[in-house]
């Protein structure tokens, strides 16, 4: 990654994670941040060029720049790392094609605010919507630990008939729900995924609920893999008897719906409030 691209990444990180974070109101900048974060991660894991492998430093730099321009994005989980470079290029091209179509319409209709959630210390009602800063800082932290993989059926089955099921939680979608599916209880919280007919296009959502408390996030369905569909829980959100090993006041866990067939549970560092 050359100096100009690295400077752009640093500026986007400040907009996403700094004290004056405002990137949640700029979908195009959020998508660009995902692209550059992935390019940096891939650079770090690329083997160095050697005289015997037919590669040169210039060729490696050109390939890295090409991947940034093409818009390849996403996190490499262990299974994903075994994909071929050709597979990544095809997947990245399809993701960018979808992203361009959505970003054009989203930019003019970006939400006015995206509050950072805080620990839920007492009874409350309604849904606390996860901010982009909270979600991206966990999904793009490549030092997280995978605690659990929750399998999905791939077709998002076990749907609930919404009009007849008062137990379906409220999701922070921009339109009415079209389906919802419970995934079980983890660390004292019910975990749900759902789909909605959003104001601009279909959305996918993930939500954790405990009694009257709920924390959720919804993103455009076509951009689920790039948009950090994460619900984080802080140390204070999990009762002592339910805390997994490694969850401390300086860490948090997060439910990340990234792949079609699983929700991944991550353990990572907590981030300071802006």
| 45 pLDDT more than 90 | no
Residues 137 and 258 in one domain: yes
Residues 141 and 263 in one domain: yes
* Number of structural domains found in the chain: 2
Largest distance between two CA atoms of the chain: 67
Q: What is the pLDDT of residue 266?
A: 97
Instruction: Please indicate, yes or no, if residue 247 is contained in any of the structural domains.
Output: yes
Q: How confident is the model at residue 28 (pLDDT cuts 50, 70, 90)?
A: confident
Residues 191 and 227 in one domain: yes
Question: Of the candidates 107, 135, 164, which is a domain's last residue?
Answer: 107
Q: Scanning the structure block, which residue is given the tokens 């995206």?
A: 114
- By mean pLDDT, which of 56-60, 90-94, 114-118, 129-133 is the weakest? 114-118
Q: What is the pLDDT of residue 16?
A: 73
Burial (CB count <10 Å: 0-12, 13-18, 19+), residue 60: middle
Residues 181 and 258 in one domain: yes
Instruction: Please indicate, yes or no, if residue 122 is contained in any of the structural domains.
Output: no
8 Å CB contact between 188 and 242: yes
Residues 12 and 96 in one domain: yes
| 74 pLDDT more than 60 | no
Residues 136 and 94 in one domain: no
Considering only CA atoms, which of 25, 234, 241 is closest in space to residue 114?
25
Arithmetic mean of pLDDT, 208-218: 95
Q: Which domain holds residue 9?
A: 3-107
Arithmetic mean of pLDDT, 81-104: 42
- By mean pLDDT, which of 102-116, 128-142, 181-195, 229-243 is the weakest? 102-116
1 vs 205, higher pLDDT: 205
- By mean pLDDT, which of 68-72, 114-118, 152-156 is the weakest? 114-118
Question: Of the candidates 51, 73, 107, which is a domain's last residue?
Answer: 107
| 63 pLDDT more than 60 | no
Q: How confident is the model at residue 18 (pLDDT cuts 50, 70, 90)?
A: low
Residues 148 and 186 in one domain: yes
Instruction: Please indicate, yes or no, if residue 184 is contained in any of the structural domains.
Output: yes
Residues 156 and 60 in one domain: no
Instruction: Please indicate, yes or no, if residue 101 is contained in any of the structural domains.
Output: yes
Q: How confident is the model at residue 57 (pLDDT cuts 50, 70, 90)?
A: very low
- By mean pLDDT, which of 23-27, 62-66, 166-170, 201-205 is the weakest? 62-66
8 Å CB contact between 56 and 80: no
244 vs 16, higher pLDDT: 244
Considering only CA atoms, which of 133, 120, 132 is closest in space to residue 212?
120
Q: What is the pLDDT of residue 17?
A: 65
Residues 31 and 132 in one domain: no
Considering only CA atoms, which of 32, 14, 12 is closest in space to residue 73?
32
Residues 37 and 85 in one domain: yes
Instruction: Please indicate, yes or no, if residue 45 is contained in any of the structural domains.
Output: yes
| Euclidean distance between CA atoms 211 and 188, whole angstroms | 10
Q: What is the pLDDT of residue 40?
A: 73
Instruction: Please indicate, yes or no, if residue 226 is contained in any of the structural domains.
Output: yes
- By mean pLDDT, which of 28-37, 109-118, 147-156, 187-196 is the weakest? 109-118
Instruction: Please indicate, yes or no, if residue 116 is contained in any of the structural domains.
Output: no
Question: Of the candidates 50, 76, 107, which is a domain's last residue?
Answer: 107
Arithmetic mean of pLDDT, 107-126: 38
| 27 pLDDT more than 80 | no
Residues 20 and 140 in one domain: no
Instruction: Please indicate, yes or no, if residue 252 is contained in any of the structural domains.
Output: yes
Kindly report, residue by residue over 152-207, the tens digit of the pLDDT.
976 554 566 666 567 899 999 999 999 999 999 999 999 999 999 998 889 999 99
Arithmetic mean of pLDDT, 18-42: 73
């Amino acid at each position: 990654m050359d100096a100009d691209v690295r400077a752009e990444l640093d500026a986007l990180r400040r907009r996403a994670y700094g004290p004056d974070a405002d990137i949640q109101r700029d979908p195009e900048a959020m998508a660009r941040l995902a692209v550059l974060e992935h390019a940096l991660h891939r650079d770090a894991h690329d083997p160095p060029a050697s005289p015997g492998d037919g590669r040169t430093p210039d060729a490696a730099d050109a390939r890295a720049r090409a991947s940034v321009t093409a818009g390849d994005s996403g996190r490499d989980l262990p299974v994903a790392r075994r994909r071929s470079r050709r597979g990544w290029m095809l997947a990245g091209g399809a993701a960018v094609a979808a992203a361009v179509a959505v970003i054009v319409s989203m930019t003019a209709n970006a939400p006015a605010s995206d509050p950072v959630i805080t620990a839920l210390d007492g009874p409350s009602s309604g849904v606390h919507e996860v901010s982009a800063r909270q979600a991206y800082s966990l999904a793009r932290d490549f030092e997280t630990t995978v605690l659990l993989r929750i399998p999905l059926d791939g077709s998002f089955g076990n749907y609930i008939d919404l009009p007849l099921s008062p137990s379906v939680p409220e999701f922070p979608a921009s339109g009415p729900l079209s389906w919802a599916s419970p995934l079980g209880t983890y660390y004292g919280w019910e975990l749900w995924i759902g789909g909605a007919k959003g104001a601009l296009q279909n959305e996918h959502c993930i939500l954790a609920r405990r009694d009257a408390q709920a924390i959720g996030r919804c993103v455009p369905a076509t951009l689920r893999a790039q948009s950090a569909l994460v619900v984080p829980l802080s140390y204070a959100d999990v009762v002592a008897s339910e805390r997994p090993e490694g969850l401390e006041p300086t860490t948090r866990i997060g439910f990340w719906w990234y792949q079609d067939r699983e929700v991944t549970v991550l353990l990572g560092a907590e981030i300071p409030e802006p």
